[in-house]
Amino acid sequence: MSQTLLSIREVSKNFGDVEALKSVTLDLNRGDIVGLVGGNGAGKTTLLRLLCGLYKPSVGDVVFLDEGGVEHPVHNVRSNLGVVPESTGLYARLTAWENIRYHSRLNNISDEAAWNRTIRLARALDMEDDLQRPTRGFSRGMRQKTALLRALSHDPDILLLDEPTGGLDVTSARRVRDLVRKLGEDGRTVIYSTHQLNEAEQVCDRIVIIHNGTLRADGAPKELMNNTNTDSLEDAFVELTQDASRDVDSPEPESKFQQLWSRLTTRKKNPPVGGDENA
């Protein structure tokens, strides 16, 4: 039986009156490559942020289980996680390697260990020659690959990927998929969030479908097709998400800091005494 690494237990997440996730329960096991699939506003990004400890559940628990089975709140064990967000957040003035090295030092990894791991993975992604280039001039695809190397620099047990092949050409996307499959074979757990059902079917041995904040399905692609009496994963997805998608125009509420920052940066300057504000 596979070892469970992350356990999501009856988790709900509310933003004011908006219930982004409702009573989601999942166990993520060592070596699983899990495709997290859903439309815009389904709750995928909220779930990823809960999994990496960026959010805390409104209800329920997200826990990491170590090799002895001891449970830890996920926000206390972030060093066991590697995250590739949709927005990569690279420092443009730094080279790819400097971005990666900075991240690895934050996780107490020596430069030598981080470099040896990075160069090996960079060869797999065909970007070995780009590690010493500033990321300012990188294409979106190159930024995505740099972010992936950064997330793997400290050798995490769990990798969270948000649209990892976005902006990649066909060959580069294939290299990323091959690397993800190899990570699963090596015992890493990968959560692979994507809109592309065909890509999820190629890469993932397990598909989790989220729709309107609820868990609609969890199983192997063929299992989902058999359960819905369909011939493709796309047809299975449509069958499981027939109810209309909720309105996604309501943004996540701003924090108090964000509200204060917005007021400070949009405040009108006082016109000069005796002057015309519209002059």
Tell me which residue range forms the domain holding 152: 4-266
Q: Is residue 271 part of a domain?
A: no
In a domain? residue 102: yes
Structural domain includes residue 71: yes
- The dihedral built from the CA positions of residue 149, 106, 255 and 61, taken in this order, carries a sign that is positive
Q: Quick check: is 185 in a domain?
A: yes
In angstroms, the CA 275 to CA 279 distance is 8
- Per-residue pLDDT tens over the stretch 122-167: 999 999 999 999 999 898 889 999 999 999 999 999 999 998 887 7
Q: Does residue 275 sit within a domain?
A: no
Cα–Cα nearest to 216, from 29, 37, 68: 37
Give the per-residue pLDDT at 251.
Answer: 45
Mean pLDDT is lowest, of 45-54, 182-191, 240-249, for: 240-249
Distance of CA 52 to the CA centre of its chain: 8
Break the chain down into helix, strand, coil percent, rounded to 5: 40, 25, 35
156 found inside a domain:
yes
Instruction: Say if 278 falls within a structural domain.
Output: no
112, two tokens? 């030598």
pTM: 0.82
Number of domains making up the chain: 1
Q: Is residue 37 part of a domain?
A: yes
The rounded distance, in Å, linking the Cα atoms of 97 and 119 is 9
Which CATH number do you get for residue 188? 3.40.50.300
pLDDT band with cut points at 50, 70 and 90 for residue 37: very high
Burial class (CB in 10 A: 0-12, 13-18, 19+), 135: buried
